[in-house]
Amino acid sequence: MRALLTGGGGFIGSHFAEYLLAETGYDVHIVDDFSTGVPGNVAGLREDDRVDVDELDVRDEAAMREAVASADEVYHFAAAVGVEKVVNEPLLSLKTNVEGTQNVLDPAAEDGTPVFVASSSEVYGKSLDVPFDEDDDRVLGPTTVPRWGYANAKALDEFLGLAHHQENGLPVVVGRFFNIVGPRQVGDYGMVIPTFVEQALRGDPITVYGDGTQTRSFTHVQDACEVVFDLMQTDAATGDVFNVGSSEPVTINELADRVKAAAGSDSPVEHVPFDEVYGDDFEEPPRRYPATEKLESALGYAPDTDLETILADVVEEQKTKLEV
């Protein structure tokens, strides 16, 4: 079996490549333009004779058609990532997400190649009806707020995949990721845990945006890799959408305190208004964590690595990187 991983140089994609190599007999074809992916994430994989790495843009229709044609399964992780990138480069974010997904799904549909589409908890918008169930209504803000453009782009990715399943019989599984975290994730694009951990280890102030009462849940990347692979091997999951996340919510204020404890840090916590970081038109959903019953019904389990373990893994990796 040969698996194509778009965005395979990114945080989730590179971990998933390692998962396939360790747990299966698959050959792995990684494609990434490395605009947000990190070449170092796959540097060690290039020496493996089961791995091919190509630098290409998922918006390149011809290149993607060729890559999909050589695959037995496709795992589509490529996307614009992080709140900062979505807010600061909305056009690139929209084009990458929508055109890239179309360039994967269209050729896959011609050959019936199974596709996993990585979506996002952002599709739920600012709904207050937590935990979020896959069939819940979506509550989004106005088109003048770039964040909701990203939410709609990821929803359109889902619609495209499900439409190909309905009309062309394409085997598609959609996974809505909820804050996947772990070693190698960077804070460059607004990812909160690596940012907090680096600040704590350096003794810098931990910057909490807003009042810190917003709640999120965090999922270890290894849990997410296992879920993604198992969903693709589960016939009953085909043509459906699943939350991929932990059901353990935590406020950002509490997260900052737990990062300090994990890092053994005396860093002060400072609150910064959202508008100072993202502008006056920014909106931040107050609560976001998933219902996992549907995933548990399909697989018999859901992600369960606790936050202490996640933070310990990130702190250990960051200490090595920062040499502290």
The answer to whether the bond into 90 is cis (omega within 30° of 0) is no
How far is the first Cα of the chain from the last one, in angstroms, to the nearest whole number? 42
**Measured between alpha carbons, how far is 218 from 250 in angstroms, rounded to an integer?**
9
In the numeric block, the tokens 């016939």 are attached to: 235
**Measured between alpha carbons, how far is 191 from 185 in angstroms, rounded to an integer?**
8
Q: Which amino acid is at 93?
A: S
Q: Name the catalytic one among 124, 150, 209, 278.
A: 150
**Measured between alpha carbons, how far is 148 from 120 in angstroms, rounded to an integer?**
12
Q: Report the 3 state secondary structure along 73-110.
A: EEEECCCCCCHHHHHHCHHHHHHHHHHHHHHHHHHHHH
Q: Which DSSP category does 113 fall into?
A: -
Q: Does the annotation mark 150 as catalytic?
A: yes
Q: In the structure encoding, which two tokens stand for residue 234, read together?
A: 């589960």
Under a CB-based contact definition with an 8 Å cutoff, are residues 285 and 126 in contact?
yes
* H-state helical runs in the chain: 11-23, 61-69, 83-88, 90-111, 146-168, 192-202, 221-232, 252-263, 274-278, 293-299, 307-322
Q: Catalytic positions, please?
A: 150
